[in-house]
Amino acid sequence: MDAADVMDDLSEVLFTSDQIADRIAEVAAQIDADYEGREVLLIGVLNGAVMVMADLQRAMRSHVEMDWMAISSYGSGTQSSGVVRILKDLSVDIEDRHVIVVEDIIDTGLTLSYLMSNLASRNPASLEIMTMFRKPEAAEMDVPVRYVGFEIPNKFVVGVGLDYAGRYRNLKDLAILAPHVYA
Ligand code: PRP
């Protein structure tokens, strides 16, 4: 789905699919360089990270493995609830693995703050974060992020895996959702 397909629902396109693909390629090259000689395990946080995970891996030139976790935070609203619980745990043991957690967005940081302490207790060889988008103005927890695609304003955004009530995840661009859609 392109922004033109849902134009009436959007206030503004922040990044086009081409801009996002270019930035993912840069981040992938950085990860390749940083982890040369070490195989990375990417952990995606469902559901939002699906698109970024798929694109990031295919842009990388090194071997890479993936696994998934599902954690609840928002529900269908537009604000973080602070409620964090594991709905689906990893399938693999991450002890002594080089792990990068892949997210679509860091908003308040509550989700990743919880997740990082949970994963650190499993003794990975290293543990870093890649997020496609980050809202610095919304941060409530300071989460150390090694790889950031784009910093964005504190608006309700959809696309590139980010949804509103389950919709718009398949929008290829990142856009601000028009208030009339969720008001
Ligand atoms: C989103 C996003 C992050 C989290 C970030 O997930 O994918 O996991 O919120 O918010 P925070 O920094 O305020 O904790 P969401 O709970 O909406 O689930 P989804 O990935 O299935 O859309």
pLDDT higher than 70, residue 77: no
Q: What is the mean pLDDT of the chain?
A: 93
Q: Give the pLDDT of residue 3.
A: 97
- pLDDT-derived band of residue 73, with 50, 70 and 90 as boundaries? low
Using the atom order of ligand 1, give the atom closest to the CA of residue 106.
Answer: 12
109 lines ligand 1 (CB under 6 A): yes
Identify which of 74, 129, 157 to mutate to test ligand 1's pocket (most ligand atoms within 8 A of the CB). Answer: 74
Contact residues for 131 (Cβ-Cβ < 8 A; gap 6+): 102, 103, 104, 105, 106, 112, 145, 147, 148, 149
What is residue 83's predicted lDDT score, i.e. its pLDDT?
Answer: 61
Percent of the chain's residues with pLDDT above 70: 94
CA distance 135 to 106: 6
Rounded to 10 deg, the angle between the 17-34 and 50-59 helix axes is 60
Tokens of 178: 């028009």
Full-model pTM: 0.93
Q: Lowest-confidence range among 14-23, 83-92, 166-175?
A: 83-92
Question: Is it the case that residue 38 has pLDDT exceeding 70?
Answer: yes
Give the residue with greater pLDDT, 59 vs 84: 59
Interstrand relation of 85-88 and 10-15 (parallel, antiparallel or unpaired): unpaired
Q: What share of the chain is helix, strand, coil (3-state, %, to 5)?
A: 30, 30, 40
Q: How confident is the model at residue 126 (pLDDT cuts 50, 70, 90)?
A: very high
- Spacing, Cα 64 to ligand 1 middle (Å): 24
Confidence of residue 114 (pLDDT cuts 50, 70, 90): confident
SS3 call for 161: coil
Rounded to the nearest whole angstrom, what is the distance from the C-alpha of residue 53 to the centroid of ligand 1? 15
Candidates 95, 103, 102; CA nearest to 64 is 102
Other CB atoms closer than 10 Å to residue 26's CB: what's the count? 12
pLDDT at residue number 178:
97
CA of 5 to the centre of ligand 1 (A): 24
Q: Is the pLDDT of residue 101 over 80?
A: yes
**CB of 47 shorter than 6 A to ligand 1:** yes
What pLDDT does 141 receive? 86
